[in-house]
Amino acid sequence: MRVLDVATFAGGCFWCMEDAFRKVKGVVKVVSGYTGGNKDSPTYEDVCSGVTGHYESIQVEFDPLIVKYEELLEIFWNNIDPTDTQGQFSDKGSQYKTAIFYHNEAQRKKAQYSKKRIQNSGKYEKPIVTEIKKASKFYEAEEYHQDYSRKNPKNYGAYKEGSGRACYKK
């Protein structure tokens, strides 16, 4: 029996983050949801209000014998603008800010190291504002948000293009 690990990331719209991670060999499951806030069992509408403290996020189950946590961190950094204090791309609000939620001390250290490496890379002129926080309860988003890019490829493609994320490369 293989032992899976869990990683949790907030990178703005969870549809886009889910799509980026689902393609990775060794990733077994990606779930869209909400974490980091103070309301139990929040709904999408609750989180969109901006008062719950929750982030739109994804939880990734992965096989660490196939894909390392450090590789997942790289995918995360390559799919966000870590300097945006207001959210991600056209999605603004506290629920769209970026964060890495660590599940253990090893993940915390690796996340901090990766953030420092990105900051010192010279790739960005502004400071890296992505937070590194201890993982808290993760609430799965409503079913219609799960696997959105697969279920609604045209709508997803239009959203990703219109949001500015599709053409973002750093």
Which residue range forms the structural domain that includes residue 97? 5-163
Asked, for residue 39, whether it belongs to a domain, the answer is yes
Asked, for residue 168, whether it belongs to a domain, the answer is no
Instruction: Using the structure block, give the residue that is written with the tokens 């959105």.
Output: 148
Mean model confidence pLDDT for the chain: 94
Phi-psi region of 110 (alpha: psi -120 to 50; beta: other; left: phi over 0): alpha
Asked, for residue 170, whether it belongs to a domain, the answer is no
Residue 170's pLDDT is 58
Can 13 be counted among the known catalytic residues? yes
Token pair belonging to 139: 């609430």
Cα 166 to its chain centre, rounded Å, is 16
Condensed to tens digits (0 to 9), the pLDDT of residues 110-138 reads 999 999 999 999 999 999 999 999 999 99
Q: If you average pLDDT over residues 92-101, what whole number do you get?
A: 96
Residue 162's pLDDT is 85
**Overall domain count for the chain:** 1
* Measured distance CA(34)–CA(52) in Å, rounded: 10
* Cβ–Cβ < 8 Å for 58, 18: yes
Given 13, 16, 48, 167, which residue is catalytic?
A: 13
Q: Residue 77's pLDDT band (boundaries 50, 70, 90)?
A: very high
Asked, for residue 44, whether it belongs to a domain, the answer is yes
Q: If you average pLDDT over residues 77-98, what whole number do you get?
A: 95
Flag whether pLDDT at 104 surpasses 70: yes
Q: Domain holding 107: CATH number?
A: 3.30.1060.10
Q: In what order do the strands lie in the sheet with 131-134?
A: 131-134, 98-102, 5-11, 55-62, 27-35, 138-140
Residue 153's pLDDT is 87
Asked, for residue 22, whether it belongs to a domain, the answer is yes
Of all residues in the chain, the percent with pLDDT exceeding 70 is: 98
